[in-house]
Amino acid sequence: MVLKELQVIFHKELDAIYGENEVDSFFYLCTEHYLDVPRIQLTLEPELAITKPETETFFKALEHLKQQKPIQYLLGETEFYGLPFKVDENVLIPRPETEELVDLIIKQCTERSRSASENNPIKILDIGTGSGCIAISLAKNLPSAEVYALDLSQDALKIAKDNAKLNKVKVNFVEADILNESTWNLFFENLEFDVITSNPPYVRELEKQEISPNVLDNEPHLALFVADDNPLIFYKTITNFAIEKLKPNGQLYFEINQYLGEETKQLLVDAQFEKIELLKDLNGNDRMLKGCKALEIKL
């Protein structure tokens, strides 16, 4: 079959669900992934033909896309902060907002990381690492930092470890539940961090109707949802953890629920963090929160 014909079928079947542009990008992602044929080659060689088994692969992908399965899970890979990441249903698909968080941390820590001495590198911890996208892109871009990443899901950690290998970085992974101190207190006993970051679950059950079906039906609820009556549970726990485990002047960086910006910020105010900033994402929503641990905590 000629690839162009297949592209016409993709549009016919999927445009009503996704719109023409997105279907084009799906199609090109598939040609790159399954055939190693870049987009430009299709324009240059409109008569490019593919074999029967290849055609079948495309039809299978088309079926999944019709059922609104995310293309990243279908291909088993995605890109985050310019780096390749393996993904499956055990981890969230990395979001562009999270790239902004990573970018902020890298910009603010490059100096600190460079000036730290070789035998005393800056230490960074990512809590609830999932695919490892935050920890790994930090490790890649702050090569002198020592990076740690925690998750309670064994399946997620397996993916995160593969991703660290794929990106040729060293990350110290810990299987633990941040809400359950007995699972991590020994591991962190003698550790203190310069930077702690987290993109924990923050979507309230009451916000479920805003979440699109392709997210709701495919992505891990464990990584997304929190109870309506205690939506900041992870932020409270991690802030308390940071009071103990951040060095004085250490930085805390959160991705947050856009509707709970002020409440989340108040947690850092109450914990006497300094230089607190609530920052917006590319869509203009409150999405990032940062604070600096005070040199001295007043009682």
| Footprint of ligand GLN (CB under 6 A) | 95, 199-203, 215, 224
Q: Which is nearer to ligand GLN, 31 or 98 (CB)?
A: 98
Smallest distance from the beta carbon of 133 to ligand GLN, in angstroms? 12
Please provide the size of the chain in residues.
299
Give just the sign of the alpha carbon dihedral 224, 20, 77, 164.
negative
Smallest distance from the beta carbon of 222 to ligand GLN, in angstroms? 10
Q: In what order do the strands lie in the sheet with 123-127?
A: 171-175, 146-151, 123-127, 193-198, 246-255, 286-292, 274-280
Q: Is 229 exposed, middle or buried (0-12, 13-18, 19+ CB in 10 A)?
A: exposed
> Residue with the closest Cβ to ligand GLN?
202
Smallest distance from the beta carbon of 29 to ligand GLN, in angstroms? 21
Q: Which is nearer to ligand GLN, 169 or 203 (CB)?
A: 203
Give just the sign of the alpha carbon dihedral 111, 117, 118, 123.
negative
Q: Which is nearer to ligand GLN, 1 or 279 (CB)?
A: 279
Distance CA 221, CA 211 (A): 11
Smallest distance from the beta carbon of 196 to ligand GLN, in angstroms? 16
Distance CA 174, CA 152 (A): 8
Helix (H, G, I), strand (E, B) or coil at 187: coil
Distance CA 179, CA 130 (A): 16
Q: Which is nearer to ligand GLN, 50 or 102 (CB)?
A: 102
Smallest distance from the beta carbon of 197 to ligand GLN, in angstroms? 12
Q: Which is nearer to ligand GLN, 83 or 215 (CB)?
A: 215
Distance CA 135, CA 140 (A): 9
Q: Which is nearer to ligand GLN, 68 or 144 (CB)?
A: 68
Smallest distance from the beta carbon of 199 to ligand GLN, in angstroms? 5
Among residues 93, 91, 50, the alpha carbon closest in space to that of 71 is found at 93
Q: Which is nearer to ligand GLN, 97 or 146 (CB)?
A: 97
Smallest distance from the beta carbon of 210 to ligand GLN, in angstroms? 9
Smallest distance from the beta carbon of 201 to ligand GLN, in angstroms? 5
Among residues 228, 233, 194, the alpha carbon closest in space to that of 114 is found at 194
Among residues 121, 261, 106, 263, the alpha carbon closest in space to that of 192 is found at 121
Q: Which is nearer to ligand GLN, 15 or 103 (CB)?
A: 103
Q: What residues are paired with 84 via a beta bridge?
A: 79
For residue 182, CA distances in Å to 79, 86, 234, 235, 293 come to 35, 30, 16, 18, 24
